[in-house]
Structure 1
Amino acid sequence: MRVKICGITNLEDALNAIEAGADALGFVFYEKSPRYITPNEARKIVETLPPFIQTVGLFVNENSSTINYICKKALMQLAQIIDDNSYTDFTLLEIKALKVIRAETKEDILNSLDNYYLVDAFVESFGGAGKRVALEWFKDLDCSKFILAGGLSEDNLLELKGFNFYGVDVSSAVEISKGKKDKQKMFNFVKAANEI
C-alpha cells in the first residue's frame, strides 16, 4: 500500500519520512493551515530529496493559474486539490491533479469510482482534524483507485485490510505538534500500512 505523509514543513521531517518508507510527501499551500509552507521553502526541501519520491502540493479552493505557478516554483509533481467551490478549472492545469472528495455520505463516494481520488471525511476546516470516513461506505466497492485520508493512525490501519485501497494519507497522527513530525510515529505508520 502506498503511503503519503502530508504537512511537511522542514527538511528533517522530509528525510525522516522517506527513511520511514513514505512514497510521497505532501506540502500544504493553503495559508490558513498550521502546516502551511511557502513555495520557496518547499522548493529548498524538494531540491535536496533523493529520486523516486513524489512531491504533492495541497491546494484548497484555488484557481488554476495559482496552482500552476506554485507547483512550478516549488517543484511539485502532483497537485492535490480540494475544490468545493469550483474555483479550479482542471482543463487549464499544467500538472497532474488528484481531486479530493470530502465525503459526507456514501453517495459522495459512489459518484466517484472511475478515477483516482483522495477520500477524506468532511469537516468544516480543511484537513488535520483527525475525523475518519465511515469504512462501511466502502463495503462491496472497488477501492483500488481510492487514497484514504483522515483519522488514520498506526492503531487503526489494520481495519483497512480487505478493502484494497490504493494508498493512505496521514498528517496529524504522525506529529509531535502541528507541522512537526515524530520520526518513530512515521516509521510505525508506514510499517503498519505495509502489513495490510
Structure 2
Amino acid sequence: MKIKICGITNLQDALDAIEAGADALGFVFYSKSPRYIDPFEARKIVDAIPPFVQTVGLFVNENEHYINQVCANAKMQLAQIIDDFNYTDFEILDVKYIKVLRIKEKNDLNLIDDNFALVDAFVEGFGGEGKRLALEWFDKIDCSKLIIAGGLTSKNLNELSGYGFYGVDVSSGVEEFKGKKSKLKMIEFVKEANEII
C-alpha cells in the first residue's frame, strides 16, 4: 500500500515522514489552508530531500496555468487536484495529475472511472478536517486504483483491510497541531499501513 503524508510545511517534517517510510509528500498550495506553503519554500524542501520520494502539490479550484507554474516553481512531480467547478483544463497540464473526488454519498462513487483517483469525505472546507468516509460504500467496488483520505489514523487503518485500496493519504491524523507533524504518529501510521492486507 502506498502512503502519502500531506500538509508538509517544513524540512524536518519532510525528513521525518521519509524516515517513517512515506512514499510521497504532499504540499498544500491552497492559500486558505493552515498548511499552505509558498511554492518556493516548498522547492527548498524538495531540493533537500533524498531521491525516490514523490512530491505532490495539492490544488483547489485553480486553472491549469496556475497549476503548471506552481508545479514548476516548487518541483512537484504530481498535481492532486480538487476541481469542483471545472476550472482546470486537464488536457494542457504539463504535470502528471490525480483528481480528488469529494464524496457526499454512496452514489458519488459512480463518478469513479478507470483512472487512479483520490477519494475523500466532502467537507465545506478543503482537506485536513478528519472526516471519514463510510467504508461500507466501497463494498463490491474495485478499489485497486483508489487512494483513500479523510480521518485516517494508526488506530483505524486496520478497518481498511480487505478493500484493496491502492494507497492512503493522511494529514491531520499524524499532526501535533495543524501544520506540524508528529514523528511518532507518522512512524505508527506507516507501520499500521504496511500491515494492511
Q: Into which bin does the TM-score normalised by the smaller protein fall?
A: over 0.9
SS state of the match for residue 59, structure 2? Answer: strand
Q: Tell me how far apart the structure 1 counterparts of residues 110 and 9 of structure 2 sit (CA, whole Å).
A: 34
Name the structure 1 match of 2:158: 158
Alignment of 1:130-169 (within 5 A): 130-169=130-169
Distance 1:109 1:8 in 2: 28
1:113–1:142 Cα contact (<8 Å) kept: no
Whole-angstrom CA distance in 2 between matches of 1:124 and 1:111: 19
Aligned residues: 196
Question: Shift in Å at residue 106 of structure 1?
Answer: 1.4
SS where residue 140 of structure 1 aligns? Answer: coil
Worse-superposed segment, 109-118 or 28-37: 109-118
| TM-score, normalised with respect to structure 2 | 0.98
User: Deviation at 1:110?
Assistant: 2.4
**Percent identical residues:** 68
Q: SS of the counterpart of 1:47? A: helix
What are structure 1's unaligned runs of at least 5 residues?
none
**Corresponding residue for 1:14?**
14
In 2, the alpha carbon distance for the partners of 1:81 and 1:94 equals: 13
Q: What pairs up with 1:66-105 in 2 under 5 angstroms?
A: 66-105=66-105
Structure 2: gaps spanning 5 or more residues: none
Regions of 4+ moved over 3 Å: none
User: What does residue 192 of structure 2 align with?
Assistant: 192
| Contact 1:154/1:189 (<8 A) preserved | yes
Distance in structure 1 (CA, Å) of the matches to 2:28 and 2:185: 20
Structure-2 residue corresponding to 1:29: 29
- For residues 57-115 of structure 1, give each alpha carbon's deviation from its aligned partner in whole angstroms, at most 9, with x where no partner exists: 00000000000000000000000000001111101100011000000111211221411
- Do 1:176 and 1:182's aligned partners in 2 also have CA atoms closer than 8 Å? yes
Partner of 2:178: 178
